[in-house]
Amino acid sequence: MLETIKQKALEGIPSTVDEALELNLRYTADELADAADEVRLKFCGDVIDTCSIVNARSGRCTEDCKWCAQSRYHSTGIDEYEFVPEAEAMHAARLNKEAGVRRYSLVTSGRKVAPGDIKRFCDLYRKVDAETGIYMCASMGLLNRDELQQLRQAGVRRYHCNLETSASFFPSLCSTHTHEDKLRTIKAAREVGMEICCGGIIGMGESMRQRLELAEEAREAGAVSIPINILNPIKGTMLENVPLIGEEEIVRTVALFRLIAPKLTLRFAGGRMRLSKKTMSRILRGGMNGALMGDMLTTVGNGVAEDKELFHDTGYREEPLS
């Protein structure tokens, strides 16, 4: 069965969720990862797709997402501010460009950036573009088509809007916005010519089926990149006591994501610092081909130099930036 589904994936035909679940029952983690890596090599090659983020607005979020340290419903002690200082954002862009990180994004807390603040962020993006030329992304919540068009005209080429989890599980984690709200924003971003980065978080209590439904839903929404975060339970959030999922389960999940989304970038995102180097290497040779580098929004990430060493050791190469 695995050989048949792998061959289909090598032709660009995605596995169904039911097929992936059956594979998970029948095969070892290494067997799944080896098959996924063949598919990854076919469509993505051996170049790692790297990106970085700047927390451009922190905390005070009106939404009640159970996992999030930035929600006003939680008391987590994070820094709170309305706008990242321009000098800090520019410095981060320069450093990432110099380090060879391919993509750079401003990320804001809140349901969405207020219409009056879009211009301020657009002005910052234009300065980043003029000075560095780095590929620019944005993650600014549930924007409408006009607001997304403004970002696109400022040079933003990719919009990030995570589905977070499957449509069937999302209502148990958030009540202040819906899965459909996110899909509307994703559709509008595509309409104005942006690429879509859309994934979520694993390990929030979802079933394997719900986890794999997320991969399918992100692919069907038009994502070119699926970030995979591993829940890092943060003290003060409603998920602070959720048990950590095991490393083998994470290996299996990534491999099955690759068979469901054979042609897309699968991006290592938050939560991977707790994994052993052996597991991270297995995942990078088990379907994953992208990484979010540096610090995350409210947690510390892997260092860029450390990541580059890991990528080199697992056979990836750096592609010169255009």
CATH number at residue 113: 3.20.20.70
Looking at residue 320, what is its pLDDT?
56
- The token pair that represents 204 in the structure block: 């929030």
- The token pair that represents 44 in the structure block: 């993505």
Q: Does any domain span residue 303?
A: yes
Tell me the binding residues for [2Fe-2S] cluster: 105, 137, 197, 267
Q: Does any domain span residue 181?
A: yes
Residue 253 belongs to what domain range? 2-313
Looking at residue 301, what is its pLDDT?
53
Tell me the binding residues: 61, 65, 68, 105, 137, 197, 267
Looking at residue 302, what is its pLDDT?
60
Q: Does any domain span residue 319?
A: no
Q: Does any domain span residue 24?
A: yes
- The token pair that represents 246 in the structure block: 């095991």
Looking at residue 297, what is its pLDDT?
45
Q: Does any domain span residue 129?
A: yes
- Total domains in the fold of the chain: 1
Looking at residue 82, what is its pLDDT?
86
Q: Does any domain span residue 321?
A: no
**Contact yes or no for 50/293 (Cβ under 8 A):** yes
Q: Report the b/e string of 219-244 with b at 16+ CB within 10 A.
A: bebebebbbbbbbbbbeebbbeeeee
Residue ranges of alpha helices (H) inside 28-114 are: 29-44, 86-99
Tell me the binding residues for [4Fe-4S] cluster: 61, 65, 68
Per-residue pLDDT of the chain (322 residues; tens, 9 = 90+): 999 999 999 999 999 999 999 999 999 999 999 999 999 999 999 999 999 999 999 878 989 999 998 888 787 777 888 899 999 999 999 999 998 999 999 999 999 999 889 999 999 999 999 999 999 999 999 999 999 999 999 999 999 999 999 999 999 999 999 999 999 999 999 999 999 999 999 999 999 999 999 999 999 999 999 999 999 998 999 999 999 999 999 999 999 999 999 999 999 999 998 999 999 999 999 999 999 987 544 444 567 888 889 999 999 986 655 4
Q: Does any domain span residue 137?
A: yes
The Cα 202–Cα 210 span in angstroms is 10
Strands 135-139 and 156-160: parallel
- The token pair that represents 52 in the structure block: 């970085």
Q: Does any domain span residue 56?
A: yes
Cα separations in angstroms, 15 against 5, 215, 269, 293: 7, 11, 23, 29
Q: Report the b/e string of 8-30 with b at 16+ CB within 10 A.
A: bbeeeebbebebbbebbeebebe
Q: Which of 273, 265, 249, 261 is nearest to 50 (CA)?
A: 265
- Put simply, whether the predicted model's pTM sits higher than 0.85 gets the answer yes
